[in-house]
Structure 1
């Protein structure tokens, strides 16, 4: 389990209280997670999953359990859209158990889950997912809008990407829970500042940023221009290694043409969008799969190695980097 400097229940309660009274909360809370005795780290990444086991969610969970056991995962990352179609109603919503606790039952998945919110989560009671009540119901659950996680020689920067996208503030088809986000310009400016400061202060060998929305994608949603304009320059300036997201219901890897950044999508936790692929430069698009699945990542001081899996446990693609030497298959 995570070794956290401060009680997650207390921090979640403070965060939730501030959000409810309309305070802009963008400062990155910092947490520690213990790594293995040799300094190595292994984790799984899954996104866009919460459908009560349907649309192959249970099959994805089963294979996650097998890979998690094989690689002795330390924790799991959720890239958002945790509960469909519109997040949770409140902390007593049965969807929490039906889509999370009762689905990810494998022994290897009984580790800390670090989660961010997706746009579908914001359509419900966003604060419910941040509540310490859920952590009391299932101790694996840990969700904040934005935070930082230190794990050995790696630091993760979880970023709340939904407020960046303009369309959510103008569309009339859906309503969103913007408590703690408004006024939006201040929220985004403060968050970008905090991410930049945290990255500049980081001495980690590997820097990984996690958000729900795509930065670049050959999938249905495509690029998120607001993130490309506002967040990407900060990631490049601070030599981030990986940007990991969900949102597009696929698995993919895109390489940056002008930096060491890799853009990784793991949004195949349940319902997939078959055939929705947009043209992309083959020199940059290293891998694309329009079905369900997840990603595994193993990190040592010298190397990052990642692999994508489908619902049958097949390894679809693997890639590694060691001191700027890349390989893939």
Structure 2
């Protein structure tokens, strides 16, 4: 029975180790996967934003891609952001679906677009094999492709927080017309609560000059789908609490800029990567609607420590709208 006199001490050590590992696990779960993307040597950052695009070049997708390549070269972009609905009509059928190359690799061929593409899933992506789009195997087909449910890109002067918004929308869980791939996101309430906790934790810790949140669904929109009430109720209060500058989304097949009446946050829709021209627009005369375009196009973002310039372009590369925002540069005392 030698050694039993030390049993209480051994049990205490085991308990401490268990608690330590348990706490470590909890912290890991609550953190978004992080990608580092440093700014240029002179401290600037630029990228394009495109959404609702994957139609094998049809509905002017190829024409929009051509102008993205031209503008991307002129701005010397660092990466591209996709706001979801990456492959129509029903996502990918699997990791080997030729639609990935036919709608992505073979369309965005310009040299300036051969940088990382940070992408979120849209509701149409969930109608197929959603996990296929998240698979690292796609990066072997095209190394640009980075798609996760929710994640963070640290670009030094800016941090981009990508949010998986589709599971927040209640109607997708009750409608009978389409089937959704809910693997990995159920139970819904638990999953969405964890997403919000991760986003809030990341925003709280962020020291970036610019905070940008990206999701598929609009918080504010006067387009076909309009506002997403679930995001207004659950996500928007977090964005306001942590001084988010821009919320960028797709879903509505248009380009728009809407301001917030209670905070500096600007709502920017870039969901015009292919099929557009729906023709049903709501409340264009509202004071908070700064710009709306019911057609195809994309958006560019240029950032410095003190200034952001966001530009909307149509399918011909013509500038439609420009938003410039300034911030004070605070020096250390």
TM-score (norm 1): 0.90
Q: Name the structure 2 match of 1:250.
A: 254
| Matched residue SS, 2:138 | helix
Q: Name the structure 2 match of 1:10.
A: none
Question: Which of 32, 43, 47 is matched with 1:28 structurally?
Answer: 32
How many pairs were matched up?
Answer: 300
| Matched residue SS, 1:283 | coil
Shift of 1:31: 1.3
| Matched residue SS, 1:193 | helix
Deviating beyond 6 angstroms after TM superposition, the runs of 4 or more aligned structure 1 residues are: none
**1: distance between equivalents of 2:284 and 2:266?**
15
Pairing of 1:78-89 with structure 2 (within 5 A): 78-89=82-93
Superposition CA RMSD, Å: 1.0
**Higher mean Cα deviation, 49-58 or 276-285?**
276-285
User: Structure 1 residues 121 and 154 mapped into 2: Cα distance closer, same or farther (>3 Å)?
Assistant: same
**2: distance between equivalents of 1:280 and 1:194?**
35
Q: Name the structure 1 match of 2:290.
A: 286
Q: Is the 8 A contact 1:40 1:152 kept in 2?
A: no
**1: distance between equivalents of 2:303 and 2:55?**
30
User: Structure 1 residues 264 and 214 mapped into 2: Cα distance closer, same or farther (>3 Å)?
Assistant: same
Deviations 1:175-218 (Å, cap 9, x if unpaired)?
10001100111101111011111101101111000000000100
Q: Name the structure 2 match of 1:229.
A: 233
**1: distance between equivalents of 2:325 and 2:33?**
29
Q: Name the structure 2 match of 1:158.
A: 162
Q: Name the structure 2 match of 1:169.
A: 173
Q: Name the structure 2 match of 1:43.
A: 47
Rg bigger for which structure?
2
Unpaired stretches in structure 1, ≥5 consecutive residues = 1-24, 325-329
Unpaired stretches in structure 2, ≥5 consecutive residues = 1-28, 329-333
Deviations 1:82-114 (Å, cap 9, x if unpaired)?
000000000110000000000000000000000
Deviations 1:34-85 (Å, cap 9, x if unpaired)?
2111110000000000000000000000000000000000000000000000
**1: distance between equivalents of 2:287 and 2:262?**
12
**2: distance between equivalents of 1:259 and 1:281?**
20
Question: Which of 125, 128, 135 is matched with 1:131 structurally?
Answer: 135
Shift of 1:277: 0.8
Shift of 1:276: 1.5
TM-score (norm 2): 0.89
**1: distance between equivalents of 2:241 and 2:168?**
20
Shift of 1:26: 6.8
Deviations 1:232-279 (Å, cap 9, x if unpaired)?
000000010000000000000000011000000000000003322101
Q: Name the structure 1 match of 2:12.
A: none
**Higher mean Cα deviation, 34-43 or 242-251?**
34-43
Question: Which of 177, 182, 202 is matched with 1:178 structurally?
Answer: 182
Pairing of 1:1-329 with structure 2 (within 5 A): 27-323=31-327
Deviations 1:117-163 (Å, cap 9, x if unpaired)?
00000000000000011000000000000001100210010000000
